[in-house]
Amino acid sequence: MTQFLAGPYGTLALAELGADVVKVEDPDHVDDARHVGPDYLSEDISLYFASLNWGKRSVALRLGTEGGMVAMKRLIGSADVVVDNFRPGTMAGIGLTEEAMREVNPAVITCSLTGFGETGPLAGQPGYDYTIQAMAGVMSIGGEPDGPPGKAGISYVDHVGGLVAAFAIASALVRKDRSGVGCHLDMSLFDTQISMLSYLATRALNGGEEPVRRALGAHSSLVPAQLFACNDGYLSVFVGNDRMWARLVGALGDERLADERFRTNGGRHRYREEIVGILQAIFATAERAHWIEVLRGSRVACGRVNSIDEALADPQVQDRDLVVTADHPVYGSYRHVPGPVPGGSAAGRRGAPCVGEHTRAVLVEVGYSEVEVDALLAAGAGVATDPGSVRPAMSDR
């Protein structure tokens, strides 16, 4: 019962690891991601939605009806895990309290992934990726020194929050396998992001210097670790230790960099501006491809700043099969990237489902007869999509 990004990304990871993920939506209030434009595969499947929901099945139930709620509880009774990313209290408000779910499945694992968790003064507030990046301090150290605060280029709070939820679910499944007892997981995007402050938080809590925005994305401690402008674009260089620094000095062959003052990172941190100035002058003399060949030849971490198209065309992406094709019998095929933990399942080859595409099949699996499913649908408690009724993408979205 997840929508938009964080929850669907977490359950996508579980699908790729082999879980049978059944996405339950109210047909009158479907996942908003289905209609996030501008590009669509069918009238209810945007490319945004398709990127997050491949490998899943779709059941459409109106939980405000008696029949819909009965069917939902039958589903819960057959489930190992129930996941939602509604605001705290929403599940209880529709009649799915922890107690109600455990009445039909005492060993079920429930996971609620919210913006701020189920306790605290912000528990009832909506919390999106943008909100969390701002409140957790991340935006304050993003962007150029003389510019406004900056956000990350992707919704990484949502992505990581989904992964942490999947990790917690996998751990809870192991515990249940050993003990036979389920549990409730109170997962929060805000909690996850505060945890990811890691060394920055430890410095702040123990009297370290306050992080500041640095030009060209420079690392707060390691030098050089930032972008440099070559004569055809930007190059990322990251010297992670003194041994790599020695290799960089040898590769570039500039005597100024061999200064004893720069031998350790402490010295390089102290003379940051001098070192960066020397390196910038060197890198500006040639194209990125030249410097990548020179630096990688000495095992110095570096890479060009790619566009999304360039990143997806990288030979490493091709060799690692990081672009796959999903197929659907109605709207055809589309390409997407796989989940973060390849599990060897075929989930990524199955296209994102239309609303209610699997309602009938799943209800039969949990004990309904075909006649009972027909009666449920006739009463308006759910929707079972006829694939032949799915319309192609609309150009005027």
Q: What end-to-end distance do the CA atoms of the chain give, in Å?
A: 26
Phi, psi of 336 (to 5 degrees): -155, 170
Kind and range of the H or E run holding 251 = helix 242-252
Q: Is residue 304 within 8 Å of 234, Cβ to Cβ?
A: yes
Q: How far is residue 35's CA from residue 339's CA, in Å, rounded to a whole number?
A: 22
Based on the number of CB atoms within 10 Å of its own CB, is 383 exposed (0-12), middle (13-18) or buried (19 or more)? buried
Token pair of 290, please? Answer: 């030249």
* Residue 58, beta-bridge partner list: 23
- Determine how β-strand 225-230 pairs with β-strand 81-84: unpaired
Q: At what angle do helices 156-179 and 6-16 cross, to 10 degrees?
A: 50
Based on the number of CB atoms within 10 Å of its own CB, is 13 exposed (0-12), middle (13-18) or buried (19 or more)? buried
Based on the number of CB atoms within 10 Å of its own CB, is 165 exposed (0-12), middle (13-18) or buried (19 or more)? buried
Q: How far is residue 302's CA from residue 340's CA, in Å, rounded to a whole number?
A: 23
Beta-carbon contacts of 207 under 8 Å, excluding residues fewer than 6 positions away, are none
CA atoms 251, 256, 257, 259: torsion sign: positive
In the block, tokens 């992934």 appear at 113
Q: Is residue 254 within 8 Å of 282, Cβ to Cβ?
A: yes
**Catalytic entry in 158, 186, 254, 374:** 158
Q: Please say if 44 is a catalytic residue.
A: no
Which is nearest to 17 in space by CA: 166, 230, 185, 126?
A: 166
Positions annotated as catalytic residues are: 158
